[in-house]
Amino acid sequence: AQTSSQLGPISVLVNNVANDQRHEFEKVTPEDFDWRVNINLRPHFFAAQAVAQEMKKLGGGSIINLGSTSWKIKGKGYPVYATCKSATVGLTRSLARELGTDNIRVNTLTPGWIMTDKQLDQWVDEAGERAMDENQCLPGRIVGSDVANLALFLAADDSRMITKQSFIVDAGLA
């Protein structure tokens, strides 16, 4: 409501929420599990719900749910995060059917390992660099603009007949 009042009707939602804090499977408590789901999945659902009526009034819109290749590559050390990011695909497919008759497109944008400051500071090490070099089909590293450019396409009318899809930006890693 606050965003609509400041910027006008919302026709595009980029659902980009995540906390990929590492956690051990054996040490996850029910409270910890709920905390992680509340960060990594719940906002996708309720943000979509919050904008759907406005998009219907506009005659359509685009919802772009950000996933992660973490569950596709069988990443270790963040099982609740990976579970939530895999659930994003199911949410996308369900909402595409729910909202499609109102001309609202819903897609998943699934990035690989994006070289953000946080990732470079906390997780990218020599072994990670080597794994990317050995497993990516394309040389180089994924940066934010690689993902943003696809989000812009999915937000634009150029993608007017694309819904229920999952797009992976990972240089061919997963």
Which residues are tagged catalytic?
Answer: 81
Which residues face 110 on adjacent strands?
168
Spell out the alpha helix ranges (H) of 9-125: 30-40, 42-58, 79-100, 117-122
- Strand pairing category for 12-15 and 61-66: parallel
Count of beta carbons in the 10 Å neighbourhood of residue 139: 8
Token readout for 76 is 């270790």
CA distance 133 to 44: 32
CA distance 95 to 38: 19
